[in-house]
Amino acid sequence: MKLVWNLLLSKNSIIGLSKMSRVNISQKAIIAVCQMTATENKDANLKVCKDLITSAKKFNAQVIFLPEACDYVGKNKPQTIEMAEDVNGPTLSAYKELAKQHNVWLSLGGIHIKVDDKTVRNAHVLLNSNGEIEADYSKLHLFDVDYKEGNVHLKESSYCKPGTKLLPPVSTPAGNIGLSICYDLRFPEASVSLRMQGADILTYPSAFTFATGAAHWEPLLRARAIETQCYVVAAAQSGMHNEKRTSWGHAMIVDPWGAIVAQCSEGNNVAVAEVDHELLRKTRLSMPVLEHRRNDVYPSLKVHCVSQPQEDTESKQFQFGQVYVKGSGIFAQTHSSMAFTNKKCVVPGHVLVSPLRCVQRMSQLNPEEVADLFMLVHKVAPIIEKAFKGTSSTIVVQDGKDSGQTIEHVHVHILPRRPGDYLNNDDIYRDLAKHDKDDSTGRWRTEEEMAAEAKTLRPYFT
């Protein structure tokens, strides 16, 4: 049994309330999912959201979820771009004040953040009860669909910049929340990855079209809940926004067993329910699907999250074959790889990327380590080009002694290149083969120089 309320808002007031079931809710978090019909009128949309938040707070909601485009729905692409604000704009500032005023966490399920004069990003911003931004997720999967049978013709990529990373779940009073937006719902790899990182609640604030929502909305939400054994919270836009755009609505909360425990009626609406962490625990214990995954047969879903080194990294040393790398020289890392400055550079900006686990040959790495290593290389190479004003990169692996490897640890050389740096381009491989064996290709750098260079590179990996 779970405590669930459905609140129906007509204009500005609650006109109906049905209490579906009761239990003792002590030590159980109350959350609220919201539904609205946004237009191009920002002030009117904000007024609706204020009423939704006020109503949800009356039932002690600790986290309140608003839908995608809660700031506005533009009539066309030029208007959508023109109305976008930056992160310090008045709309987000107003929501920060609402979070503080009501002492509540707010999930702003998708607001338009200005990138430049031609582009916005679709941002899911999570505010804590002090009105501070806890997370700012940019939508990964953009809705480019031409579904003629349902009269759906949208190309979000024509004005929206896609996100580049899946954020780790955020700890909140209701549990660890994984952030997504709308079309992300159709990509289960992301939801499973968030669960593997510790998510208790997955969020899919949306403005589903009427045609796609009628066919797929509920099945997709319930599937994400069942396969991840997480609560799924899906705030939604509903009804006609303008003559070109109508949304499906049916905002809902689904429990880890796949049961719909709260759902909004038509119009501006709030549904409130409990997050029962004992149910989460029992569901996962009775059917431990993560433990049953056959990653010996199919790839595991690892999130490749590149970041600056941890605060205590500088005081540590990391084995690098028969030598050690000081943490002060590391400028980027993942869960199994590191990127660091070089003791002796063939060209300025010559850096190294290696797995954390010490193995001599590429064949000794497992598939996950290989994928992670080269994902980090993929991230580092263009940044090094930019930082050292390069136009190209030479990326090299010396795999084994007879290939020129002297450090008995798999590593990738990244060398930013410029026009004319080598008259004969292949000479760089000659210099690379002997760069750490004699002094003809440059000088050995001090630990202080390497640390200083790493410090300048770390801000690129925030």
236 occurs within a structural domain: yes
Q: CA end-to-end span of the chain, whole Å?
A: 43
For 190, 309, 333, 448, the CA distances from 313, given in Å and listed in that order, are 29, 6, 10, 15
Residue 392: which CATH number? Answer: 3.30.428.10
Q: Name residue 242's amino acid.
A: N
Q: What local confidence, expressed as pLDDT, does residue 305 receive? A: 67
8 occurs within a structural domain: no
Residue 197: which CATH number? Answer: 3.60.110.10
121 occurs within a structural domain: yes
Task: Please check whether residues 93 and 197 belong to one and the same domain.
Answer: yes
Tell whether 398 is in a known binding site: yes
For 144, 145, 146, 213, the CA distances from 152, given in Å and listed in that order, are 10, 7, 6, 11
52 occurs within a structural domain: yes
272, 26 contact by CB (below 8 A): no
How many domains in the chain? Answer: 2
Tell whether 342 is in a known binding site: yes
139 occurs within a structural domain: yes
Task: Please check whether residues 448 and 316 belong to one and the same domain.
Answer: yes
Task: Pick the catalytic residue from 124, 250, 350, 411.
Answer: 411
Residue bearing tokens 């263009």: 382
Q: Give me the residues of the chain with pLDDT under 70, please.
A: 1-27, 302-308, 310-312, 438-441
Task: Please check whether residues 187 and 265 belong to one and the same domain.
Answer: yes
Q: What local confidence, expressed as pLDDT, does residue 16 receive? A: 29
Task: Please check whether residues 162 and 249 belong to one and the same domain.
Answer: yes
Task: Out of 239, 269, 286, pick the residue that ends a domain.
Answer: 286
168 occurs within a structural domain: yes
Task: Please check whether residues 222 and 330 belong to one and the same domain.
Answer: no
Task: Please check whether residues 116 and 80 belong to one and the same domain.
Answer: yes
Task: Please check whether residues 238 and 322 belong to one and the same domain.
Answer: no
Q: What local confidence, expressed as pLDDT, does residue 408 receive? A: 93
Q: What local confidence, expressed as pLDDT, does residue 2 receive? A: 41
Task: Out of 286, 321, 343, pick the residue that ends a domain.
Answer: 286
296 occurs within a structural domain: no
Tell whether 425 is in a known binding site: no
Task: Please check whether residues 137 and 199 belong to one and the same domain.
Answer: yes
Whether the model clears a pTM of 0.75, i.e. scores above it, the answer is: no
Q: What local confidence, expressed as pLDDT, does residue 25 receive? A: 31
17 occurs within a structural domain: no
Q: What local confidence, expressed as pLDDT, does residue 13 receive? A: 29
Task: Please check whether residues 433 and 397 belong to one and the same domain.
Answer: yes
167, 135 contact by CB (below 8 A): yes
Distance CA 102, CA 113 (A): 24
Active site residue 411: yes
Domain that holds residue 205: 29-286
Distance CA 4, CA 9 (A): 16
Task: Please check whether residues 190 and 330 belong to one and the same domain.
Answer: no
For 288, 349, 416, 417, 420, the CA distances from 391, given in Å and listed in that order, are 49, 12, 7, 6, 11
Task: Please check whether residues 343 and 448 belong to one and the same domain.
Answer: yes
Task: Please check whether residues 268 and 381 belong to one and the same domain.
Answer: no
Q: What local confidence, expressed as pLDDT, does residue 306 receive? A: 66
